[in-house]
């Protein structure tokens, strides 16, 4: 649904969909003109349409206190233009595969997020998390400084599930372990990669 195409009719279109569809498996929400504020209609869609599996949002949320609720337990959640996502909103997300193109989360907050994941306090369903590129050594120094971790030799190749259950063989990485024995392997790729930071759970 392109929310800035028929702005005056968005609510009635969403109401029509709600009345005629029990749920949808996949949903893409977008806009062409970033100057048009579609925050309210995006939230209305998320509150009124049950999405079962995949959600991709490509809208320009203006309000960092955006009150739309993302569905839980999705197979795949991709939030483009996600500059408005802060720490508290990050903790509300609970999906298997999560891609955030940008965010407002500090290094200290990423440190807290990983500690919560280790303690099984958040993201219990997570299989794959992808963020924009960051420097490997900076990430270790600023985020992992007090988190037990193991740097895996680049000569070690392992197979991981990535987005939408795709299987990829990757070398090296940084392992951190959750209290139940599950491992998150963190990868930081060069700036040429889109989404250069990956967290794969296995």
The predicted-structure confidence for 155-180, as pLDDT tens digits, reads as follows 999 999 988 888 999 999 999 999 99
Confidence of residue 135 (pLDDT cuts 50, 70, 90): confident
Contacts 24+ apart (CB under 8 A), 155-163: 158/185, 160/185, 160/200, 160/202, 161/127, 161/128, 161/200, 161/201, 161/202, 162/97, 162/128, 162/198, 162/200, 163/76, 163/97, 163/99, 163/128, 163/130
Band of the pLDDT at 133, cuts 50, 70, 90?
low
pLDDT, tens digit, for every residue of 84-106?
Answer: 999 999 999 999 999 998 888 99
Query: Mean pLDDT across the chain, nearest whole number?
Result: 92
Region 5-21: mean pLDDT is 96
pLDDT at 195: 46
Residue 202 has pLDDT above 70, yes or no: yes
Instruction: Provide mean pLDDT across the span 47-65.
Output: 95
Strands 24-30 and 51-58: parallel
Average pLDDT over residues 68-79: 94
pLDDT at 122: 95
| Least confident among 103-107, 147-151, 195-199 | 195-199
Cα distance between residue 60 and residue 36, in whole Å: 9
pLDDT at 193 over 70: no
Please give the average per-residue pLDDT across 118-146, as a whole number. Answer: 89
Mean pLDDT, range 42-57, rounded to an integer:
97
């Amino acid at each position: 649904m392109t929310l800035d195409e028929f702005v005056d009719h968005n609510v009635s279109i969403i109401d029509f969909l709600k009345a005629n569809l029990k749920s949808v498996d996949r949903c893409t929400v977008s806009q062409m003109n970033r100057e048009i504020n579609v925050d309210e209609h995006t939230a209305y869609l998320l509150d009124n349409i049950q999405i079962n599996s995949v959600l991709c949002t490509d809208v320009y949320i203006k309000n960092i206190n955006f009150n739309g609720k993302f569905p839980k337990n999705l197979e795949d959640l991709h939030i483009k233009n996600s500059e408005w996502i802060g720490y508290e909103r990050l903790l509300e997300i609970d999906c298997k595969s999560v891609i955030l193109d940008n965010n407002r989360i500090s290094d200290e907050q990423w440190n807290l997020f990983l500690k919560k994941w280790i303690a099984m306090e958040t993201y219990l369903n997570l299989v794959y998390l992808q963020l924009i590129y960051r420097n490997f050594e900076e990430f270790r120094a600023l985020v992992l400084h007090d988190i037990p971790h193991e740097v895996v030799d680049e000569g070690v190749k392992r197979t991981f599930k990535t987005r939408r259950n795709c299987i990829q063989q990757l070398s090296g990485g940084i392992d951190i372990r959750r209290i139940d024995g599950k491992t998150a392997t963190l990868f930081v790729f060069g700036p040429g990669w889109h989404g250069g930071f990956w967290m794969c759970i296995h």
